[in-house]
Structure 1
């Protein structure tokens, strides 16, 4: 739980109650989803001691229109692969043991949808203890992780690139205790996503935007919520800029260093009329970069009442789909002919 400084007792009580509610709801959801859950176990090991030596081969072995929980355990190593989890292969978990020693890496740039090192097109996907990186560097769109499936979750992952690190494209997504690094728009897209206890690190040369959310209409229930996160930066940065004219981003209980520029946000050349539909909010953040007195006039300081429905996993319907690790495993021979 993030420490709250300089707040009233009412706000503290609200935060404690809201946090307990979120944890209770998630625990109940995990209990419901894991009771008796058994997954098919596939092991990837570069030494040849597993079922497959490449991660993509393990994914390819899962049948189309899969209905089983599949747990792909990846042994430590550097996997130089460009990976896709197809839309017709839901219910897959890919898990390392430690993110620092399970590294998936590629070097590509250009089209934002095609450059990704790791593309998740399927629903009900989980990534755990992985490093996913695009080593292209500056000079173009170079996505490390593209998430275009619904109900995807990532736990204790390191996601690294320079521009457009995470293309959080579409669907409901949850990121927990992840380290996310980039310089320009490095969390972008139009997902409905909840980032909890994540570390966002800007490597911008100065003034780079952390987020570029692409909500295009008031009817879209999308946006990025950062809850209990920490920001660090090599030089200066802004919290975001609007890729879409209804862009929605909220930072709550997040530490912001003095590297965050006083204005907080960049207008990306939009007119005053267009900026009136942007929803950029801040609630009970801490650190020298969290001061709101010089924020752009189209940013918001949220009240407890405004923040309450947003800073909970209910905003992404988490109770309906977030699942924990299966409690038992079985082996099953898959045909590679799908």
Structure 2
């Protein structure tokens, strides 16, 4: 265990004592990625962090901290599992089976991948994998033959799956994800996904490091965290819905060719600060991969907030027909006045669809935007601002109706 790692663990503990905001834990989580950690050191740090998570409750997440009772008579040694919730896992029903994961051995499984492997192939039942608080240092893959799986964490500041794969170490960016999902009807709730590989410098080759890759259809994410730097969230393919999520990165940190709707999400840049007066642009929020005008894909962000550090584009035209829309989004001054990039290929100016609608904040000033951005009016914006953009009226309300509450603002009209 190195001196640097020990100091970081101590710093995290001090921060937890003297502050009561969610952001302290977020900073602590992201700071782990500054270290090149082996599994033993990461496990040590995560064990130090996990009890601290219990001091924080996010706006939409609730979890129960387990206090261990020690007998007064000294006749019995207390077990870490003594106060484990007695109703976990609940009995199997006609529609749902629950598997339990706890790294301390209080469940049937100590790793998430072992629970995934135990699910039935092509099962029509929903398998809820209940994951106790803690950081699970493992690479997790859900194959196409494993549909209808739910990851249920205890809060995105309490439960996380982390790995440190990079493009160099994994055979390419697409395979570097800490968690990779290829099956349909996946749901994640109240859990974080992290890639703790060292943050790359601009221009580094093969340092892209994906925290989560979703390549299955009809997936939804509720109150989840995605922590990384370059290429954090690979929103690869399929129809997806993200609500109340925290997504952190630096360059192209939401990328792929999916058709996805993001609502009420925080998008946080960790690109290095740019000195005042310099026009350097060192980050990008999105990089969408649509390759044809006939392809019905794109990213839509509604009621989002964008902040953090660096000086960043809203999106880069990763592919010639890239499509990204921001609506009702608050943008800080980290957004470059130009807003968007064609990756130095002027031919893409005629084919991309970059749109903004009713956004606010210092970064939403469109007076200096690139000429090919769409200043959407009500009619132009309408197709992107309701659930039909992802055909959610056919699947989202059914597969995730237990997540939808009175604050659900997307129109079903």
TM-score bracket for the superposition, by shorter chain length: 0.7 to 0.9
Consecutive unaligned residues in structure 1, runs of 5 or more:
1-35, 328-338
Which runs of structure 2 are paired with 1:132-211 in the superposition (5 Å)? 132-136=193-197, 137-138=199-200, 139=204, 140-205=207-272, 207=281, 208-211=283-286
SS in 2 for 1:93: strand
**Residue deviations 1:197-230 (CA, integer Å, cap 9, x gap):** 0000011125211100000001110000000000
**Residue deviations 1:281-305 (CA, integer Å, cap 9, x gap):** 0000010110111100000110000
Cα offset for 1:51? 1.7
Cα offset for 1:326? 6.2
Counterpart for residue 260 of structure 1: 335
Cα offset for 1:116? 0.4
1:212 aligns with 2:279: no
Kindly tell me the number of residue pairs found equivalent between the two proteins: 291
CA contact under 8 A between 2:239 and 2:258: conserved in structure 1? yes
CA contact under 8 A between 1:38 and 1:326: conserved in structure 2? no
**Residue deviations 1:11-68 (CA, integer Å, cap 9, x gap):** xxxxxxxxxxxxxxxxxxxxxxxxx984101111112121211100000001211211
Cα offset for 1:236? 1.2
Cα offset for 1:77? 1.1
Cα offset for 1:103? 1.2
SS in 2 for 1:307: helix
SS in 2 for 1:186: strand
Correspondent of 2:108 among 51, 54, 69: 51
SS in 2 for 1:294: coil
1:62 aligns with 2:137: no
Which runs of structure 2 are paired with 1:175-324 in the superposition (5 Å)? 175-205=242-272, 207=281, 208-271=283-346, 273-322=347-396, 323-324=399-400
Select the structure with the greater relative contact order (CA < 8 A; seq sep ≥ 6): 1
**Residue deviations 1:295-330 (CA, integer Å, cap 9, x gap):** 000001100001011111210011111123669xxx
Correspondent of 1:77 among 108, 119, 134: 134
Query: Which deviates more from structure 2 when the two are superposed, residues 316-325 or residues 139-148?
Result: 316-325
CA contact under 8 A between 2:229 and 2:253: conserved in structure 1? yes
**Residue deviations 1:251-291 (CA, integer Å, cap 9, x gap):** 000000111111101121112x3221100000000101101
Consecutive unaligned residues in structure 2, runs of 5 or more:
1-92, 275-280, 404-413
Note the aligned Cα RMSD (angstroms).
1.4
Counterpart for residue 25 of structure 2: none
Cα offset for 1:113? 1.3
SS in 1 for 2:96: strand
| CA–CA separation in structure 1 for the residues paired with 2:175 and 2:383 | 35
| CA–CA separation in structure 1 for the residues paired with 2:180 and 2:267 | 21
SS in 2 for 1:289: helix
| CA–CA separation in structure 2 for the residues paired with 1:308 and 1:49 | 49
Correspondent of 2:182 among 105, 114, 121: 121
Query: Which deviates more from structure 2 when the two are superposed, residues 44-53 or residues 213-222?
Result: 44-53
| CA–CA separation in structure 2 for the residues paired with 1:233 and 1:45 | 33
| CA–CA separation in structure 1 for the residues paired with 2:106 and 2:263 | 36
CA contact under 8 A between 2:317 and 2:348: conserved in structure 1? no
4+ residue stretches of structure 1 with deviation over 2 A? 323-327
Could you say if the C-alpha distance between residues 120 and 216 of structure 1 is closer, same or farther in structure 2, counting changes exceeding 3 Å? same
| CA–CA separation in structure 2 for the residues paired with 1:277 and 1:261 | 22
**Residue deviations 1:144-193 (CA, integer Å, cap 9, x gap):** 00011011111111101111001111100111010000000000000000
